[in-house]
Amino acid sequence: MPTTSPARSSHSSAAKSLLGRDLITVADLSVDEILSIFDLAARTKADLRAWRRALDGRAVVMLFEKDSLRTKVAFEVGVSRMGGHAIYHNHMDCRIGERESVSDYARNLERFADCIIARTFGHDVICELAQTSRVPVINALTEKYHPCQALTDLFTLREQLGTLDGASIAFVGDGNNVCHSLMLCSVMLGVDITVIAPKGYAPDEDVVEKAQGFAAASGATITLTSDLGAVEGVSAVYTDAWVSMGFEAEAAQRHVAFASYQVTPELMQRAGKQALFMHCLPAHRGFEVVPEVIDSESSIVFEQAENRMHVQNSILLHLLGDGS
Ligand code: CP
Ligand code: NVA
């Protein structure tokens, strides 16, 4: 859909304000809209059967240029449990825009489907799909952002802690797509974020600037450092792959650069007993995290994974209707 500016709505009308919109980055959303997505995610999680007809007769197309387990399966199962139909269109061998233009993709798919969910390499590709399509487009991960993940992460943290008041996250590793969306979503919700990245791998400056704007409004803080000591006292330590999809050619140099940024029991101890461990998955045990941490009591990675479906269901209900 053509981009509209983020609505400043009251929490109660936020469900309606998202109808027909795209979700390209969490920065497209107002705080009320995020909270509305969380509230409906919690309700559908408690009793999804009550929504079993919500997407009756609706079809969504999922265009994926990269691998996926959680995003793909969670959307597919979620849509089918709500009475709709999800069609997976694998583009791992032929990129969107190669056989025909990105805009022609959008102009064809909008004739068949009620929503386009896309995982693309270039962020410009999803933006072009959204600009052209008359049906909502959901970003299922690009090189720049992963909004469905970040919304799930903050939803999961709130579920675990009972409240986001006073919460803080330390993201350790690559200032990548997951880090970008996590930064934005955290500070929008008033959660302090510290990004601990080796030199050369800090998050993009334009994202940091945008996050600083949201932080000024919410009172949250943003700390960018390469010092692992900054984990002290945080509510959660979060990490992601050292080598994201599309960066495989840099694997050797990245393994050197990130070698000391592994999340170990010692690092979790520096964070403190209260600290939870988070990861978007897939995890690479022995690289960004060791088994003693990801498979420990403080790890909530599979709660995050499960909540992908509940939050994505809520996003679909907000964008396509029947989220009331
Ligand atoms: N976290 C996440 O997006 O997982 P997938 O790549 O498996 O979808
Ligand atoms: N940063 C990772 C996230 C995978 C869900 C990637 O882009 O490959």
Please indicate whether residue 255 is annotated as part of the active site.
Answer: no
pLDDT at 7: 36
Residues above pLDDT 70, as percent of the chain: 96
Atom 1 of ligand 2, nearest CA residue: 244
Residue type, 159: E
Bridge partners of 276, per DSSP, are: 236
Closest ligand 1 atom to 140 CA:
3
Q: Is the pLDDT of residue 80 over 70?
A: yes
* DSSP at 143: S
- Residues whose beta carbon lies within 6 Å of some atom of ligand 1: 68-72, 141, 149, 280-282
Q: Is the pLDDT of residue 249 over 70?
A: yes
Closest ligand 2 atom to 143 CA:
7
Closest ligand 1 atom to 281 CA:
1
Ligand 2 close to Cβ of residue 181 (< 6 A): no
Report pLDDT digits (tens) over 12-52.
Answer: 577 789 999 999 999 999 999 999 999 999 999 999 999 99
| Residue among 143, 281, 304 to mutate when testing ligand 1 (max atoms within 8 A of CB) | 281
Atom 4 of ligand 1, nearest CA residue: 70
Q: Name the least confident of 95-109, 151-165, 272-286.
A: 95-109
Is the bond preceding residue 265 a cis peptide, omega within 30 degrees? no
Q: Whole-angstrom Cα distance, residue 225 to residue 229? A: 10
Write out the two tokens for 145.
């952002």
Please indicate whether residue 269 is annotated as part of the active site.
Answer: no
- Name the one residue in this structure whose structure tokens are 């050369």: 200
Sheet order of strands, 192-196 included:
222-225, 192-196, 168-172, 236-239, 276-279
Q: What is the mean pLDDT of residues 310-318?
A: 98
Find the 119 Cα to ligand 2 centroid distance in Å.
11
- Name the one residue in this structure whose structure tokens are 């920065």: 27
Find the 241 Cα to ligand 1 centroid distance in Å.
11
Q: Which of 22, 28, 153, 240 is catalytic?
A: 240
Q: Which of 119, 158, 254, 318 is catalytic?
A: 119
Atom 6 of ligand 2, nearest CA residue: 244
pLDDT at 323: 60
Q: CA angle 100-101-105, nearest 5°?
A: 80
Write out the two tokens for 296.
């420990």
Best CA proximity match to 90, nearest among 112, 113, 109, 72: 72
Report pLDDT digits (tens) over 186-224.
Answer: 999 999 999 999 999 999 999 999 999 999 999 999 999
Residue type, 79: V
End-to-end CA, the chain: 22
Output the average pLDDT for the chain.
95
pLDDT at 168: 98
Atom 1 of ligand 1, nearest CA residue: 280
Residues 6+ apart with CB under 8 A from 77: 309
Q: Is the pLDDT of residue 176 over 60?
A: yes
* DSSP at 241: -
Going along the chain, which residue ranges are E strands?
Answer: 59-64, 85-90, 115-119, 137-139, 168-172, 192-196, 222-225, 236-239, 276-279
Find the 23 Cα to ligand 2 centroid distance in Å.
18
Residues 6+ apart with CB under 8 A from 253: none
Residue 148, SS3 per DSSP? helix
Sheet order of strands, 115-119 included:
85-90, 59-64, 115-119, 137-139
Find the 54 Cα to ligand 1 centroid distance in Å.
25
Find the 219 Cα to ligand 2 centroid distance in Å.
29
Sign of CA dihedral 109, 111, 116, 121: positive
Atom 3 of ligand 1, nearest CA residue: 71
